[in-house]
Amino acid sequence: MTGPLVVRTREELRAATEGTIALVPTMGALHDGHVQLMKHARPLAQTLVVSIFVNPTQFAPGEDFDAYPRTFDADLERCAEAGVDIVFAPTVDVMYPDGLDATVSVDAGPLGQILEGAQRPTHFRGVLTVVAKLFGLVGPDVAVFGEKDYQQLTLIRLMARELCLGVEVVGCPTVREADGLAMSSRNRYLEADERQLAGAINAALRAGAASGREGGTAVLAAARAVLDEHGITPDYLELTDPDLAEPVPGREARLLVAARVGRPRLLDNIALNLGGN
């Protein structure tokens, strides 16, 4: 198994890429969920690039930027497993040549202020800004993101379309542990007893989805009952339509949750059909 080529600058990238390009942006600490994104992306273009960059601007002061797991050698092995051609691992100077307080950034708009954005007001500005920069540096035809961060995926899709970036944004289903816990780099922060409890987050979503036919109030009540039973108080538990607007009876909807279990905040979401007409 030959490993991917590691490049750190735009010039090295340009010299190494050829033909159509698929990009999987990551912050490293790669797990099976990331490997699925890479495998999904592999047939979509001639060159598959994975970026590994822990982006400082999407962390607020006091969040886990310094502690965020950095596992570069193991990450390269995961990339080799998935047939990645190039790993783009830029420095902060390459990504932010004018410094972290540069004057131009991407405003996520009103959908960036709800759900995660209400808890982390500067988060999506940081995410969209770095993704826009990665699109500019890598020049992908297609970029693949996980549905686990559903609001992030929705906002990146909107950004690509509304700013005419010419990148097709593809979402991939969440990869889960046996008890339903969504895979995440932050799951490694969970202590053994917290890990056991964490499965309740997805169980709550499944209970909510199973009540879909009874309407939105029943969905939220069923999900909250499972969280209550396990002593989990969510930061939010909300039902939206697939575009994060108000849910519409009789249509598809999304149930989204975030909750702290021990040290990490865990995010998950599920699609469901809402009853009513």
CB of 152 to ligand PAF, least distance (A): 6
Which C-beta is closer to ligand PAF: that of 162 or that of 277? 162
Site of tokens 């830029």: 90
What angle (nearest 5°) sits at the alpha carbon of residue 8, between those of residues 3 and 11?
Answer: 110
Q: Is 25 in the site for ligand PAF (CB under 6 A)?
A: yes
Among 130, 222, 226, 255, binds ligand PAF (CB under 6 A): 130
Segment interacting with ligand PAF (CB under 6 A) among 63-71, 78-86, 123-131, 249-257: 123-131
What angle (nearest 5°) sits at the alpha carbon of residue 203, between those of residues 180 and 35?
Answer: 20
CB of 25 to ligand PAF, least distance (A): 4
What angle (nearest 5°) sits at the alpha carbon of residue 152, between those of residues 136 and 29?
Answer: 80
What single DSSP character describes residue 25?
Answer: E
Q: Is 140 in the site for ligand PAF (CB under 6 A)?
A: no
Which C-beta is closer to ligand PAF: that of 126 or that of 234? 126
In the chain, what are the helix, strand and coil shares in percent, each to the nearest 5? 40, 20, 40
Which C-beta is closer to ligand PAF: that of 48 or that of 253? 48
Alpha carbons 51 and 85: distance in angstroms, whole number: 11
Segment interacting with ligand PAF (CB under 6 A) among 24-32, 90-98, 218-226, 259-267: 24-32
Residue 97, both tokens? 């040549």
Q: Is 264 in the site for ligand PAF (CB under 6 A)?
A: no
Is 34 noted as a catalytic residue in this protein?
yes
Q: Could you tell me if residue 19 is left (phi over 0), alpha (psi between -120 and 50 degrees) or otherwise beta?
A: left
Q: Is 26 in the site for ligand PAF (CB under 6 A)?
A: yes
Is there a contact between 242 and 252 (Cβ–Cβ < 8 Å)? yes
Environment class of 261 (CB within 10 Å of its CB; exposed 0-12, middle 13-18, buried 19+): buried
Which C-beta is closer to ligand PAF: that of 34 or that of 224? 34
Alpha carbons 168 and 189: distance in angstroms, whole number: 33
183 marked among binding-site residues: yes
Per the annotation, where are the binding residues? 27-34, 58, 146-149, 152, 175, 183-186
Per the annotation, where are the binding residues for beta-alanine? 58
Binding site for ligand PAF (CB under 6 A): 25-27, 55, 58, 127, 130-131, 149, 152
Active site positions, annotated = 34
